[in-house]
Amino acid sequence: MSAMTLSHHTREASFWRVLEIGACYLLGLLWILPLFYAVWMAVHPPAYEVRFELFAPVTLQNFVDAWNAAPFARYFLNTFALITTILVCQFVVCTLAAYAFARYEFRGKTVVFMLVLIQLMIMPEVLMVENYRTISKLGLVDTVVAMGLPYMASAFGIFLLRQTFLTVPKELDDAARVEGAGPLAVLLKVYVPLARPIYVAYGLVSVSYHWNNLLWPLVITNSVTTRPLTVGLQVFASPDQGVQWSVISAATLMTSAPLLIGFLLFQRQFVQSFMRAGIK
Amino acid sequence: MKKTNNMVAPWLLLLPATVLLAAFTHIPAVMTFINSFYRTPRGNRPARFVGLDQYSNMLSDPVFMAALKNNAIYALGTVPAAIALSMLMAVIVNSAIRGRALLRMSFFLPTVLPMIAVANIWLFFYTPGYGLIDQFLGLFGFHERNWLGDPDTVLGSLMVLAIWKEAGFFMIFYLAALQQISPTLSEAAALEGASRWYFFRRVTFPLLMPTTLFVMINAIINSFRLIDHVIVMTRGGPDNASTLLLYYVYNVAFRFWDAAYASALTVVLLAALALLAFVQFGVLDRKVHYK
């Protein structure tokens, strides 16, 4: 009797378990479907946009068409210049500031730190009206530098590096100083090497943020020679221009490809980096 | 570090960061506030102090009112949904289910894509009649709909896309938090015969509270900050049914070139963000334990 109810119970439990697992896979499928579909559109002739046949002819023509329809090579170059400029400047600026906050005592430290943290809330794009005014006063409208300037001192980067520098044992710092190293030498020889994983994490977050950023570059650029990929794609793929969906799909995938491929290759590092950046 | 250290070193280290932050965050924020009391100079008409005129204009501006309402609906709709889904995803990916890595990848991938790319893809889904959603619903006998062209459905359509894009990003933070929870807790609960749902409600969920706060604040900021999909998919239309606050600022500043009114609108945004900061640092931080 008890054995019967038990088996009845486990059968019921396993039924729910299967249902639950099925629901999990369904959610995963639902989430990846839009991307699969974009790939489907991009690699088939326009006639197969909504016709799903297993043996539909595969073609790369859409990519060729997209590549020829707009100066994407130039846009790639611009994006590349943009993310390198931002990344290098962010590393330098944030490292110096984080070091000051982590290892020096000075008057007004707390106030300055709070002022820095304000930028976590008020991101540069919210202030685009005034920032546009500043950039035009500097005569920098439509330059790569202008796209990067508001982001170079990043509160997020300063905070992240400060937290990391705080965990560096004081003894290492003191030892280096006893050997006669100055503050900058200590920073470069002790702190920066120890914080390497954090630099990787912050770098990945920053690159994917700025590769994808649209609004501020859209406001501040107006020519092919500075436009990054996102703005180029926006100009190209306005629906009223009558471009084929399959070509838009191809262009969309093409411009996201470096990040996508990078993500698929280094998935573990990517996810761990985002995790690291998120834990304070 | 010796206390005798000169006071110059830290300030020199901070110099680049403070100059840049002052130039692109603090001074612009203050200037936005000041400029909102002036009128935009046009032609030979110079800027003139107009007091609170911009703000009283705002109250009688139906587009502003629509943007405010839309942004509130947008935040109230996307934030809780994104939080719930990202928590669910993290629990799934953190469980012993087979194919974890694939599931994690599928949840996270939309995050890596630019918002504009996502918007382009979804634009096609929403195409009336021909698009994927109508084709799918057509199988069940539904009539075609102009999802982005109908004031009743346009904001919801944008919200679905935003949730799809963001949930995987927030999942990462929950995943990190879940991995910090000691496995002995769930082992003990299993020994006591607690159901998994009970364990989640009484143990996991409270332990995830700091993460939820962090995610919530970031999701709200994003709901004010990210308007790429509005630019690409709807341009605020139809009839301003999908205009969000920052999109309206963008329009007023860079299409109508009315910088003063755009400043006043920005002040409203800043006030909302300041309120958020106050809630985070003032109220919630005391209730939630951080390390």
What's the rounded mean pLDDT across residues B226-255?
A: 90
pLDDT at A262 over 60: yes
pLDDT at A34: 87
Between chains, do B104 and A123 touch, taking CB under 8 Å as contact? no
> Å from B204 to nearest chain A CA?
17
pLDDT at B82 over 50: yes
pLDDT at B270 over 80: yes
pLDDT digits (tens, 9 = 90+) for A103-125: 899 888 999 998 998 888 888 88
| Cα–Cα distance measured from residue B89 to residue B104, given in angstroms and rounded to the nearest whole number | 8
pLDDT at A222 over 60: yes
| Cα–Cα distance measured from residue B88 to residue A94, given in angstroms and rounded to the nearest whole number | 35
As beta bridge partners, residue A85 has: none
Question: HEC states along B229-246?
Answer: HHHHHHCCCCCCCCCCHH
| Cα–Cα distance measured from residue B48 to residue B37, given in angstroms and rounded to the nearest whole number | 9
The most confident of A143-147, B45-49, B185-189, B202-206, by mean pLDDT: A143-147
Between chains, do B121 and A249 touch, taking CB under 8 Å as contact? yes
* Res. B238 pLDDT band, cuts 50 70 90: confident
pLDDT at B203 over 70: yes
The closest CB to that of B17, out of A37, A94, A122, belongs to A94
Instruction: Say how many CB pairs under 8 Å bridge A and B.
Output: 249
Interface of B with A in 75-104 (CB under 8 A): 88-89, 92, 97, 99, 101-104
Between chains, do B113 and A106 touch, taking CB under 8 Å as contact? no
Bigger pLDDT: A17 or A276? A17
pLDDT at B80: 95
Please answer whether residues A233 and A74 qualify as being in contact, where contact means their C-beta atoms are separated by less than 8 angstroms. no
pLDDT at B5 over 50: yes
| Cα–Cα distance measured from residue B168 to residue B164, given in angstroms and rounded to the nearest whole number | 8
Helices (H), chain B: 8-21, 27-35, 53-59, 62-94, 100-112, 115-125, 132-138, 154-180, 183-191, 196-199, 205-207, 209-225, 228-229, 245-254, 259-278, 285-287
pLDDT at A81 over 90: yes
Peptide linkage before B62 cis (omega within 30 of 0):
no
Q: What is the DSSP string of B144-174?
A: P--TTTSTTTHHHHHHHHHHHHHHHHHHHHH
The closest CB to that of A31, out of B35, B110, B114, belongs to B110
Q: What is the DSSP string of A200-229?
A: HHHHHHHHHHHHH--HHHHHH--STTT--H
The closest CB to that of B17, out of A118, A149, A158, belongs to A158
The closest CB to that of B20, out of A123, A152, A233, belongs to A152
Using the Cα atoms of residue B230, residue B107, residue A119 and residue A190 in order, give the sign of their dihedral. Answer: negative
Between chains, do B16 and A37 touch, taking CB under 8 Å as contact? no
* Res. A240 pLDDT band, cuts 50 70 90: low
pLDDT at A64: 87
How does DSSP classify residue A60?
S
What's the rounded mean pLDDT across residues B25-43?
A: 89
Bigger pLDDT: B5 or B93? B93
| Cα–Cα distance measured from residue B220 to residue A124, given in angstroms and rounded to the nearest whole number | 16
pLDDT at A1: 45
B105: which chain A residues are within 8 Å (Cβ-Cβ)? 32, 264, 267
Q: Which two tokens stand for residue B238?
A: 């139809």
> Å from A105 to nearest chain B CA?
8
Provide the ipTM: 0.85
Q: Which pTM was predicted?
A: 0.87
Q: What residue of B is the nearest CA neighbor of A264?
A: B105
CA B121 to each of CA A19, A74, A247, B232: distance values in angstroms, whole numbers, following the listed order: 31, 23, 11, 11
Using a CB–CB cutoff of 8 Å, tell me whether B24 touches chain A: yes
> Å from A73 to nearest chain B CA?
17
B106: which chain A residues are within 8 Å (Cβ-Cβ)? 28-29, 31-32
Q: Which two tokens stand for residue A183?
A: 């503050």
B35: which chain A residues are within 8 Å (Cβ-Cβ)? 130
**CA neighbor of A252 nearest in space, from A221, A279, A214:** A214
> Å from B170 to nearest chain A CA?
9
Q: What residue of A is the nearest CA neighbor of B215?
A: A278
State whether residue B38 is helix, strand or coil: strand
Q: What is the CA radius of gyration of chain B?
A: 24
Q: Which two tokens stand for residue B156?
A: 């919801």
What's the rounded mean pLDDT across residues B213-234?
A: 88
pLDDT at B264: 92
* Res. A89 pLDDT band, cuts 50 70 90: very high
Between chains, do A31 and B109 touch, taking CB under 8 Å as contact? yes
pLDDT at B16: 94
pLDDT at B289: 45
Ramachandran class of A173: left when φ > 0, alpha when ψ lies in -120 to 50, beta otherwise: alpha
The closest CB to that of A279, out of B3, B112, B176, belongs to B176
The closest CB to that of B175, out of A158, A259, A275, belongs to A275
The closest CB to that of A129, out of B108, B228, B249, belongs to B249
| Cα–Cα distance measured from residue B232 to residue B226, given in angstroms and rounded to the nearest whole number | 12
Please answer whether residues B103 and B235 qualify as being in contact, where contact means their C-beta atoms are separated by less than 8 angstroms. no
Using a CB–CB cutoff of 8 Å, tell me whether B137 touches chain A: no
Please answer whether residues B253 and B109 qualify as being in contact, where contact means their C-beta atoms are separated by less than 8 angstroms. no
A173: which chain B residues are within 8 Å (Cβ-Cβ)? 1
Ramachandran class of B168: left when φ > 0, alpha when ψ lies in -120 to 50, beta otherwise: alpha
Bigger pLDDT: B97 or A273? B97
